[in-house]
Amino acid sequence: MLMGKKFAGYLAYATGEIILVIVGILIALAINDRSNKNKKLELRHAYITQLNDEADRNLKKLTMLDEEALQMLAELDTVFKLLLFKDYENPKLSTKSYYLIMSKKFYPVMITYENLKFSGDLKLFDDLDLRNSISETYETFIPIEKLESAEKQAIESYYENFLMRNVKFRNMGTSSENYGKDIYFENMVLTRITTLAQNREAYGTAIESLKNLKNTYAELQDEN
């Protein structure tokens, strides 16, 4: 009888110890889980800050490029009107045709986004729509790159097939100053006006997308 009571006491004690250990483990797991969640929130907040800064820098670059493209369009529009009215002797035809070989390139800042994408940290953003929005915004830079590449090829071709040819003939004393009559020159004017307009459209799409993304970042930071 006495042995039975002692055994029951040991069993109760052992059971109590086991329960305490289990409770301790559960508390430790809960603390660790909370700590991990806090670290993830801190990391996500850091990414949002960096992404927002990245968006600001890209917006500044794109806005500047858009303004320069608008100015070049205005200058080339003057050249187009001179050709339209066959005003080949006008000195503006020569001075403003410089814009045919003038181009700018957009070098996007993408370090934070690339880190997010390749590290797998993009999953820190639980909202699937937000993740897609971030990716889609950076994808608006792709059409800009393609347009710039096509524009570069057109300028290089114009330089080699028209400008250098005219320089060669001028050195030989056989070129005409009225190069505005050349169909190649006229086509290049129309090409550049078209590509610059396309560039502005691509810039506008990227700018609008970046602005919307910045508004989303601001809302997320307000929540924190």
Most confidently predicted of 36-40, 103-107, 199-203? 199-203
The yes-or-no verdict on residue 50 having pLDDT over 90 is yes
Which residue would you say has higher pLDDT here, 43 or 21? 43
The yes-or-no verdict on residue 175 having pLDDT over 50 is no
| Cβ–Cβ < 8 Å for 190, 80 | yes
Give the position of tokens 């806005």. Answer: 63
pLDDT at 12: 60
Percent with pLDDT over 90 in the chain: 50
Which residue would you say has higher pLDDT here, 120 or 171? 120
The yes-or-no verdict on residue 191 having pLDDT over 90 is yes
d(CA 108, CA 178): 40
Average confidence score pLDDT of the chain: 83
What is the mean predicted confidence (pLDDT) over 57-69?
Answer: 97
What is the mean predicted confidence (pLDDT) over 57-80?
Answer: 96
pLDDT at 59: 97
Count of beta carbons in the 10 Å neighbourhood of residue 181:
11
The yes-or-no verdict on residue 31 having pLDDT over 70 is no
User: Lowest-pLDDT range, 5-14, 105-114, 146-155?
Assistant: 5-14
Q: How confident is the model at residue 172 (pLDDT cuts 50, 70, 90)?
A: very low
In terms of Cα–Cα distance, which of 60, 55, 65 is closest to 200?
Answer: 65
Within 8 A by CB and 6+ apart from 93, the residues are 79, 82, 83, 87, 180
